[in-house]
A and B are shown apart, each in its own frame.
Chain A
Amino acid sequence: MSAMRWRLLAPRNVRLLDRGRSERSAGGNGAQPARALSSPPVSASPPGRTLSSLSATRRGLPKAKMSENGVVPRAKVLTIDTMNPTVKNVEYAVRGPIVARAVELERELSEGMKKPFAEVIKANIGDAHAMGQQPITFFRQVLALCSYPELLNDSTFPDDAKSRARRILQSCGGNSMGSYSASQGIDSVRQDVARYIERRDGGVPCDPNNVYLTTGASDGIMTMLKLLVCGEGMTRTGVMISIPQYPLYSAALAELGAVQINYYLNEEKCWSLDISELQRALDEARNHCNPRALCIINPGNPTGQVQSRECIEDVIRFAAKEGLFLMADEVYQDNVYAEGCQFHSFKKVLFEMGPEYSDTVELASFHSTSKCYMGECGFRGGYMEIINMDDDVKAQLTKLVSVRLCPPVPGQALMDLVVNPPQPGEPSYDNFIKERSATLSALAEKAKLTEQILNTVEGISCNPVQGAMYSFPRIIIPEKAVKEATDKGQQPDMFYCMKMLEETGICLVPGSGFGQKDGTYHFRMTILPPRDKLQILLNKVQEFHQKFTQHYS
C-alpha cells in the first residue's frame, strides 16, 4: 500500500487544482442546460437474474412471519428518493434492457421453449472472443507461464514466451502476478508502453511517467473525467462528445453531474467531423456551462469512421484556440480497413504541429487490450498517456488512481506483450504474424460484407465501415411503427430492435442508445461473428426489415 500521509479528520476535496486555466464567464441568459442523452428507460431487470423471482422476498433474508409482533416494515435508508440522484441518470445501452431480454430468450431456448430461431446472436457488444475470434497463441502462452511458473520447465512452451514471462514475473512483487503493483502500473511495463508509443509515432518522445496503466480504457476515461468535472450552475464543467457516441461517456457524465455537450458527426459525409459543428456546439454551450473538454473516438464507435490527418489537426487547433482538454479514445487503432484510411495518433499529429501546440495542448490518449487483434476484453488491460498536464494536477491524478489500488496485473502483463510482441527471428514471430493478419483481414472482409449487404436493403443505408468493429446503419421506420412505439413509451428504434430480437434472435443495440439526429433511427451491429454466421445474420436482418416495413406500411 502506498505510504500516503493522510490526515483523517479534515475532509479534503480531491479536485482539480488548476492554475490559470481561464474560467469562461458564463453568459447571463439562464438557458436550460443541455439535456443529457437519454432514451426513456424501458423497464427491465438485469440479465442473468431469474425475472419471475425478482419479488421482494428474494431480496432479503427468509421472510418468517412478518409483522408477527405487529411491527410495520419501516422505510428503507436507501430508496429511489434518497439515493444519489445522478446515479439515476446513468444508462449504458450496450448492456441495457435489450440485452436483458436476449439473455432471457437464451434461457428460454435452453429450457426447450420453441422460438423462430435456434440461437440468439449477440451482435450487441464488441466482444470478439465471445463471437469465436481466437486469442493470440503467444499472449496466452506467456500469461499461462506467468500464472503458473511451474510451466517454465515445460518443453512445450517456446523460449521467447518463457523469457517474456520471466521478465514480467521479475517486475512483480514476490515474482507473482498476485501481488499488488504500483498504482500507476508496473514500472517496466510503463517503460515498454512508452517505447511502443515512440515507435508508433515515428520517434516522438514519450515519458514513461506520463503513462498510467488502467483497468481497461474505461477506467482511465472515468478517472480523467472525474478530474475535469467541477463547478456549479453556470460554471459547471461541460464536456463535448460526438453524437453518436459510445455510451460510457454519457453514463460517466450523468454520474458526475457534468453537462454533456453534443456535437453531431456528419452522416452524409461518412460520419466526418466538421469544425463548424464543433464551434456551433461550443458557442451554444457557453451560455449555460463551462466547456472544458472535448472527447473524440478515433476510429469511431459506433460509427467506424477513421479521421483524416487534416481533421485531427483541425481538432487540435480548435482545442488550442478554445482552451479545451482533449480526450482521444484510440482503442481501435489497429482496426483500420478501408483503403485510403490510416490511423493517425493525436499525440503524433500534435507534436508534428510544432511547439506552439505540442507545448500547450492538454491531451489524454487511451488504449486497451480489449479490441484490435487481441480482443482480450476479459483481462481488463489498458493505458492512458497524459500530455502537458499541470504538475499539481498530476499529483492529484496519482492520488486518485491509488484509491482503486492497482490495475489487474494479468491485464498489465498482457499490455506489455501487446506493446512488445514477437520480433523477426524469434521462435514465435511467424505464427504471431500469421494469427494477427488473419484476424485483422477477416475483420476487414466482414466490414466490407456488412456494408455491401446492408446497402442492398431498401430502407437501410450504411456508411462504409472504415474501422473499429461495428456498423451503424440508418433505418427508415414507418410512421405506424413510430406511433406504436411512442404509444408504448418506447424509442422507435428500440421497438424495432426488440421486434427483431423476438423474431430472429438477433440482438443489436438501438441507435437511441448512442445518440442520433432527431427523427433519424439507427442500430449498431458488430462485425464480429464468423463470416458465414455474419452472412446469415445480415440476410436475416434484410428479411426482417422487409417484413417489418411491410407490416407497418
Chain B
Amino acid sequence: MNSNKLPVDVRQRAQWLLGSCAGGSVGSYTAAAGIPNIVNSVSEFIRRRDGAPSYPENIYISPGSQWSITNILKLMLNSKASPRTGVLIPVPCHSTTILSIVDLGGAIVPYYLSENLGWELQVAELHRALESAKGVCKPTALYVINPGNPTGHLQTRKSIQAVIQFVAEKKLFLLADEVYQDYVHGENEFVSYKRVLAEMGPPFSETVELASFHSVSKGVMGECGLRGGYVELVNVDPAVMKHVYTLFSKDTCAPVLAQIALNVMVNPPRRGDPSHRLYTVETEHIKTTLLHNARRAYEVTNSLPGVCCQPMDGGAFIFPRLALPPKAIQKAKEAGTEPDIFYCNRLLEDAGILTAPGCQFGQREGTYHVRFCILVPVATMEELLRRLTSFHTQFMAEFS
C-alpha cells in the first residue's frame, strides 16, 4: 500500500475497501447481505444503468448467482406442498436452476422458445405453458434468462414488457437471470427487467414482484472462481424480506474477495483515473474477441450441411441445431444414447472438442443441438471451427 508499485487509484480503492472491512481485514465475516459500502455501490450501479431508483436494503450479495436463485426459490418452494409449486422455465435452459427447483420440491413447467424466430420468447407460448400446468401443479414463478443461455437471444424492450404484463395478469413472481448482461454483441443494447418495469409505471411498477440476478462470473470480469453475485428484490412483501435476511445470514456471508470484485465490476476505473487506460484496453480486447468469435462461429456453423445456427445478440455460447441423418440417429439408439450425445461424444473422441449436447438443456422432441462456448482466444476459435468443419463433413459422409 505504501509503495508506488501499484497505481494510486488501485491503492485508494483498496484502502477504502479495507476500511469497510471489520478489523480492516478481508478475513473477517461481513454483514449477511454484504459490506454496506459495497451494497451501496451496487445500488448506485443499478441506478446509473437503469435510470430508476434502487434501494440498498433490497440487495443481497451472495456467493454466485445460483446461490441467491436457490435462496429465493426456497422462499417459494416447499417439498410438502400439495399441489406442488410450479416454476415456468424456458426450453432450452441451463440445467443448474432446474436442479435447484427440483431439489427443493418444485415442479418444472417448460415454455418453449421459438427457435425459428431467433429463440424469441412468445407470450402465447407462456399462456400455453400455464394452461398445461392446470391440475398438475400451482405455478408461482416465471424464470427468464436474458441474455439467454444457451440461446444468446437478447430480449427487446417490447418482449420484456409483454412478459411483465403476463406475470402481472397471471400473478407470478418474476425471476430475471441477467448474468450475461455484459455480453452483448455489436450494436445491441441490454435493457434490464427492472428498468422496463420502472418505465411501465404503476400499477406494474408497484405490484410486480421481481428478483434480478447478476454475477462477477461473466462479463469482462469473468471471475467465476471467486463466487460473487447479487440479487435485487423489488416489491417483495416486507414481512417476507425479514425471512430473506435470516436465510442469507445462515450462510454467514459471501466471500470477501468476491464482494471486492463485485465493487470493482460495478464501479470500474473512470476516465481520468490512472488505471482507466489499461482497463479500457483490456476490456475492449475482450469485447472485440467475443464479437469476432460470435460472427465467425455463426458464419462457419451455418455453412455446414445440416447445421443451422440462429443469430446471437449476446451471451457466451452458440447453440446450433443439427439435422442428424437417420443412420446416425439409428446408431445412437443402438448404443442406447441420445443422438446429440452421440454426436458430441464423437466430436470429443475424433476432434478433441468438448461441448454440451442439447438434451442437457431441453429441446423440442426430435430436434438436436449442441452448445459451444465462444469465450476463447481468436486463434482457439479458428482452430475449433476448423476441426469442427472437418469432423462434421466426415460425420455426415459416414452416416449418409
The answer on a CB contact under 8 Å between A218 and B5 is no
B33 partner, pick from A7, A46, A408, beta carbons under 8 A: A46
Residues of A within 8 A of B146 (CB): none
Interface on A for B, CB 8 Å cutoff?
1, 3-9, 11-14, 45-50, 54, 56, 58-66, 68-69, 71, 73-74, 76-80, 82-88, 90-92, 95, 103, 125, 127-133, 135, 147, 154, 172-173, 176-181, 215-216, 218-219, 226, 248, 251-252, 255, 257, 374-380, 399-400, 402-411
What is the CA–CA distance of A73 and B63 in the complex, to the nearest angstrom?
Answer: 35
Interface on B for A, CB 8 Å cutoff?
5, 21-23, 25-33, 36, 39, 52-53, 55, 57-58, 63-64, 66-67, 70, 74-80, 91, 93-96, 98-100, 102-103, 106-108, 110, 140-141, 171-173, 197-198, 201-203, 205-207, 209, 217, 221-227, 234-243, 245-247, 249-258, 338, 341, 354, 356-357, 359-362
The answer on a CB contact under 8 Å between B227 and A377 is no
Tell me whether A178 and B91 are in contact in the complex, defined as CB-CB below 8 angstroms, given that A48-B33, A73-B207 are known contacts: no
The answer on a CB contact under 8 Å between B25 and A176 is no
The answer on a CB contact under 8 Å between A411 and B173 is no
The answer on a CB contact under 8 Å between A408 and B226 is yes
Tell me whether A378 and B255 are in contact in the complex, defined as CB-CB below 8 angstroms, given that A80-B240, A255-B74 are known contacts: yes
The answer on a CB contact under 8 Å between A410 and B255 is yes
The answer on a CB contact under 8 Å between B227 and A408 is yes
Cβ distance B150 to chain A, nearest Cβ, rounded Å: 10
A408 partner, pick from B63, B91, B206, beta carbons under 8 A: B63
The answer on a CB contact under 8 Å between A9 and B58 is no
Residues of A within 8 A of B224 (CB): 178-180, 405-406
Tell me whether A379 and B25 are in contact in the complex, defined as CB-CB below 8 angstroms, given that A61-B235, A178-B225 are known contacts: no
The answer on a CB contact under 8 Å between B252 and A56 is no
The answer on a CB contact under 8 Å between A49 and B27 is no
Nearest A residue to B341, CB-CB: A5
A130 partner, pick from B29, B110, B171, beta carbons under 8 A: B29
Residues of B within 8 A of A62 (CB): 52-53, 198, 205
The answer on a CB contact under 8 Å between A406 and B225 is yes
Tell me whether A8 and B91 are in contact in the complex, defined as CB-CB below 8 angstroms, given that A78-B236, A130-B28, A407-B227 are known contacts: yes
What is the CA–CA distance of A255 and B207 in the complex, to the nearest angstrom?
Answer: 28
What is the CA–CA distance of A127 and B222 in the complex, to the nearest angstrom?
Answer: 30
**Chain A to chain B contacts (Cβ below 8 Å), 8 pairs:** A46-B32, A78-B76, A87-B74, A129-B28, A177-B225, A257-B80, A377-B27, A404-B64
What is the CA–CA distance of A516 and B84 in the complex, to the nearest angstrom?
Answer: 37
What is the CA–CA distance of A14 and B102 in the complex, to the nearest angstrom?
Answer: 8
The answer on a CB contact under 8 Å between A84 and B23 is no
The answer on a CB contact under 8 Å between B78 and A85 is yes
Residues of A within 8 A of B96 (CB): 1, 402-403, 405
The answer on a CB contact under 8 Å between A11 and B255 is no
Residues of B within 8 A of A82 (CB): 76, 140
Tell me if A's interface is mostly helix, strand, loop or mixed.
loop
Tell me whether A68 and B202 are in contact in the complex, defined as CB-CB below 8 angstroms, given that A45-B242, A83-B76, A380-B63 are known contacts: yes
18 extra interchain contacts, Cβ-Cβ under 8 A, other than A46-B242, A215-B255?
Answer: A8-B359, A9-B108, A11-B107, A48-B36, A61-B205, A71-B203, A76-B236, A78-B209, A78-B240, A80-B239, A92-B246, A147-B257, A177-B225, A180-B225, A255-B74, A377-B29, A380-B227, A409-B225
Most A CB within 10 A of own CB, among B36, B108, B250: B250
Nearest B residue to A381, CB-CB: B255
Residues of B within 8 A of A9 (CB): 108, 110, 362
The answer on a CB contact under 8 Å between B243 and A87 is yes
The answer on a CB contact under 8 Å between B226 and A95 is no
Cβ distance A380 to chain B, nearest Cβ, rounded Å: 4
Tell me whether A58 and B55 are in contact in the complex, defined as CB-CB below 8 angstroms, given that A8-B91, A64-B201, A129-B28 are known contacts: yes
Tell me whether A12 and B359 are in contact in the complex, defined as CB-CB below 8 angstroms, given that A90-B243, A131-B23, A405-B224 are known contacts: no
What is the CA–CA distance of A407 and B251 in the complex, to the nearest angstrom?
Answer: 13
Cβ distance A148 to chain B, nearest Cβ, rounded Å: 9
Which 8 A-B residue pairings sit nearest by Cβ, starting from the closest?
Answer: A130-B22, A409-B225, A8-B362, A378-B256, A129-B25, A46-B245, A178-B223, A376-B27
What is the CA–CA distance of A321 and B368 in the complex, to the nearest angstrom?
Answer: 53
Nearest B residue to A83, CB-CB: B75
B202 partner, pick from A64, A85, A173, A406, beta carbons under 8 A: A64
Tell me whether A79 and B257 are in contact in the complex, defined as CB-CB below 8 angstroms, given that A60-B205, A403-B100 are known contacts: no
The answer on a CB contact under 8 Å between A251 and B202 is no
Residues of A within 8 A of B245 (CB): 46
The answer on a CB contact under 8 Å between B26 and A378 is yes
Cβ distance A47 to chain B, nearest Cβ, rounded Å: 6
What is the CA–CA distance of A154 and B142 in the complex, to the nearest angstrom?
Answer: 51
What is the CA–CA distance of A200 and B223 in the complex, to the nearest angstrom?
Answer: 34
What is the CA–CA distance of A402 and B95 in the complex, to the nearest angstrom?
Answer: 11
Residues of A within 8 A of B250 (CB): 90, 92, 218, 248, 251-252, 255
The answer on a CB contact under 8 Å between B76 and A59 is no
Nearest A residue to B57, CB-CB: A49
What is the CA–CA distance of A410 and B257 in the complex, to the nearest angstrom?
Answer: 8
Tell me whether A408 and B103 are in contact in the complex, defined as CB-CB below 8 angstroms, given that A73-B206, A78-B75 are known contacts: no
Most B CB within 10 A of own CB, among A66, A78, A181, A216: A78
Residues of A within 8 A of B171 (CB): 74, 77
The answer on a CB contact under 8 Å between A405 and B64 is yes
What is the CA–CA distance of A257 and B74 in the complex, to the nearest angstrom?
Answer: 12
Residues of B within 8 A of A257 (CB): 79-80
Cβ distance A338 to chain B, nearest Cβ, rounded Å: 26
The answer on a CB contact under 8 Å between A83 and B103 is no
